């Protein structure tokens, strides 16, 4: 069935034009002035509104088994909540337990995700190493459309990677044309600080940020960057939360290294004071890693986005309800790490980014969809409004307002880190794969309508890096044979 979005202003990463958008099936088939509606087409009036690519959240954890419990948001509720906020695709994480086969874990996650309402894809975590892991990485890239692997440098005694795993996995991913990503925190230092704080009697959530200071993140970010530099491979750092990590990324980029950085909506607007609340439930609800930081770090992150040293925004949507967080009432190290936001990211970014003049609407598109699509090789299928692209679109009302609250959100969690924030700039309609899935407050998602999206290997920056490598390949010195 055709769908015509009429009378809006189409905003992509590059251009802003008054145009109608015609979708047929799951694709955009025309963008231009005064398009005629085919017989029987649905028509959306986008007068006074922006028509933009649906958001892509490159970092979510739906129904993740983690720290002795399972994230409360599943692939249906999470993608539906995303649609209510203008997000039409997520890239979630397959996280095998150490010694578990990557393929087995991947199949398990694919099964869980079949209920998704909008499109999705997977990064796969490398949590251990042997020849079977190298083999499975090949199968995932060549046969299953996975083009990114994740490495946790934190969570000692669980899923943390030592440097040896990083070196092996980065090397293998390069051969396969896949991008390596890291959660950059020095897990050894976190573990040391956690034990010290508990011994000092600091058992509440205030211990969480004290055990994960910015230096711990800066060290790991810099280490991963230097490992990637020596190996000559690209690198993507997830949830950059502090100046120290941002400085490492900015320096590497200034030196010509291909390093990408992601920032979470939460890290841009929530500050560390939340952990000192006397209300355990409130403080624990904010426990996520890396933790929320000071306003000084927040300002640096905004500048990172503005300068282009950070390219993508995400949420790390990983929800746990109060009874789950209560597992750490007497020991902050046992509070399941994670917070939500898949529904709120676009509105928070618009309100605090575009409405403050930090970002133009085109830059908003870059950091909420287009850059992610380019880095993870989904562009121009996703991340733009153009003929031939997937009909994943958000119609954005720049004057619409709402107050974010756990009482009204669609996310399956009892808390919202943006609680009480009144945002201006909200989606009026969300279209996913050509279907209207959200219209003026009404969710119309269908369980299982989302599709698994294959992401081809070798994004274009691999070609560029290969040239650099070839030019810099060390050559042996030719010497005259020694006299007999």
Within 309-328, which residues bind Zn ion (CB under 5 A)? 316
Q: How many residues bind to Zn ion according to rule CB under 5 A?
A: 2
Nearer to ligand URP, 12 or 337 (CB): 337
The binder of 338, among Zn ion, ligand URP, none, by C-beta within 5 to 8 A per type, is ligand URP
Sole binder of ligand URP in the list 318, 319, 417, 421 (CB under 6 A): 318
Q: What is the 3-state secondary structure (H, E, C) of the chain?
A: CCEEEEEEEEECCCCEEEEEEEEECCEEEEEECCCCCCCCCEEEECCCCEEEECEEEEEECCCCEECCEECCCCHHHHHHHHHHCCEEEEEEEECCCCCCCHHHHHHHHHHHHCCCCCEEEEEEECCCCCHHHHHHHHHHHHHHCCCEEEEECCCCCCCECCHHHHHHHHHHHHHHCCEEEEECCCHHHHHHHHHHHHHCCCCCCCHHHHCCCHHHHHHHHHHHHHHHHHHCCCEEECCCCCHHHHHHHHHHHHCCCCEEEEEEHHHHHCCHHHHHCCCHHHHHHCCCCCCCCCHHHHHHHHHHHHHCCCCEEECCECCCCHHHHHHHCCCHHHCCCCECCCCCHHHHHHHHHHCCCCCCHHHHHHHHHHHHHHHCCCCCCCCCCCCCCECCEEEEEEEEEEECCCCCCCCCCCCCCCCCCEEEEEEEEEEECCEEEEECCEECCCCCCCCECCCCCCCHHHHHHHHHHHHHCCCCCCCCCCCC
Asked whether position 390 contacts Zn ion by CB under 5 A, the answer is no
**Minimum CB distance to ligand URP, residue 318 (Å):** 4
The binder of 337, among ligand URP, Zn ion, none, by C-beta within 5 to 8 A per type, is ligand URP
Nearer to ligand URP, 88 or 337 (CB): 337
| Angstrom distance (rounded) from CA 380 to CA 390 | 9
Sole binder of ligand URP in the list 316, 343, 351, 363 (CB under 6 A): 316
**Minimum CB distance to ligand URP, residue 92 (Å):** 11
Nearer to ligand URP, 211 or 337 (CB): 337
Asked whether position 150 contacts Zn ion by CB under 5 A, the answer is no
| Angstrom distance (rounded) from CA 290 to CA 267 | 9
Nearer to ligand URP, 4 or 283 (CB): 283
**Minimum CB distance to ligand URP, residue 292 (Å):** 11
Residue with nearest beta carbon to ligand URP: 337
Asked whether position 183 contacts ligand URP by CB under 6 A, the answer is yes
Sole binder of ligand URP in the list 187, 338, 361, 427 (CB under 6 A): 338
**Minimum CB distance to Zn ion, residue 238 (Å):** 6
**Minimum CB distance to ligand URP, residue 286 (Å):** 10
Within 410-469, which residues bind ligand URP (CB under 6 A)? none
The binder of 325, among ligand URP, Zn ion, none, by C-beta within 5 to 8 A per type, is none
Within 56-75, which residues bind ligand URP (CB under 6 A)? 61
| Angstrom distance (rounded) from CA 413 to CA 381 | 32
Asked whether position 183 contacts Zn ion by CB under 5 A, the answer is yes
**Minimum CB distance to ligand URP, residue 44 (Å):** 36
**Minimum CB distance to ligand URP, residue 337 (Å):** 3
**Minimum CB distance to ligand URP, residue 288 (Å):** 4
Nearer to ligand URP, 338 or 383 (CB): 338
Asked whether position 288 contacts ligand URP by CB under 6 A, the answer is yes
State the residues that interact with Zn ion by CB under 5 A: 183, 316
State the residues that interact with ligand URP by CB under 6 A: 61, 183, 288-289, 316, 318, 337-338
């Amino acid at each position: 069935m055709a769908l015509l979005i009429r009378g809006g202003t189409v905003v992509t990463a590059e251009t802003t034009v008054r145009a109608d958008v015609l979708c047929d099936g799951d694709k955009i088939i025309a963008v231009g002035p005064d398009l005629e509606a085919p017989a029987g087409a649905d028509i959306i009036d986008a007068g006074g509104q922006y028509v933009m690519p649906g958001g892509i959240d490159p970092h979510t954890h739906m129904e993740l088994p983690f720290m002795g419990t399972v994230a409360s948001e599943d692939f249906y509720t999470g993608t539906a909540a995303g649609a209510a906020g203008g997000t039409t695709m997520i890239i979630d994480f397959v996280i095998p337990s150490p010694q578990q086969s990557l393929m087995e874990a991947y199949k398990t996650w694919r099964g869980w995700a079949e209920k998704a309402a909008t499109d999705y894809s997977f990064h796969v975590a490398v949590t251990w190493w042997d020849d079977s892991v190298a083999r499975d990485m090949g199968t995932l890239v060549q046969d299953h459309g996975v083009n990114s692997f994740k490495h946790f440098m934190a969570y000692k005694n669980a899923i943390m990677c030592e440097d040896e795993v990083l070196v092996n996995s980065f090397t293998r991913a390069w051969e396969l044309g896949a991008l390596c990503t890291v959660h950059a925190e020095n897990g050894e230092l976190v573990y040391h600080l956690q034990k010290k704080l508990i011994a000092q009697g600091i058992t509440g959530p205030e211990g969480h940020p004290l055990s994960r200071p910015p230096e711990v993140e800066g060290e790991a970010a810099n280490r991963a960057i230097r490992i990637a530099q020596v190996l000559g491979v690209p690198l993507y750092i997830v949830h950059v939360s502090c100046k120290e990590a941002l400085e490492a990324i900015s320096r590497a980029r200034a030196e010509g290294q291909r390093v990408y950085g992601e920032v979470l909506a939460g890290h841009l607007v929530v500050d560390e004071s939340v952990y000192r609340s006397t209300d355990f439930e409130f403080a624990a609800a904010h426990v996520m890693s890396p933790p929320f930081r000071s306003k000084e770090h927040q300002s640096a992150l905004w500048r990172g986005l503005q300068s282009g040293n950070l390219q993508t925004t995400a949420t790390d949507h990983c929800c746990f309800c109060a009874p789950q967080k209560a597992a750490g009432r007497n020991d902050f190290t046992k509070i399941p790490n994670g917070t939500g936001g898949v529904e709120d990211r676009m509105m928070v970014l618009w309100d605090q980014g575009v409405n403050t003049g930090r970002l133009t609407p085109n830059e908003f598109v870059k950091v909420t969809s287009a850059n992610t699509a380019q880095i993870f090789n989904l562009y121009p299928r996703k991340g733009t409004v153009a003929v031939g692209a997937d009909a994943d679109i958000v119609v954005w009302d720049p004057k619409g307002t709402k107050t974010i609250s756990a009482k009204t959100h669609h996310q399956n969690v009892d808390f919202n880190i943006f609680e009480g924030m009144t945002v201006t700039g909200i989606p009026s309609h969300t279209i996913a794969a050509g279907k209207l899935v959200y219209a003026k407050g009404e969710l119309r998602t269908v369980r299982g309508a989302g599709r698994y999206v294959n992401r081809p290997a070798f994004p274009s920056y691999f070609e560029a890096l290969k040239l650099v490598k070839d030019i810099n390949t060390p050559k042996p010195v030719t010497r005259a044979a020694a006299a007999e």
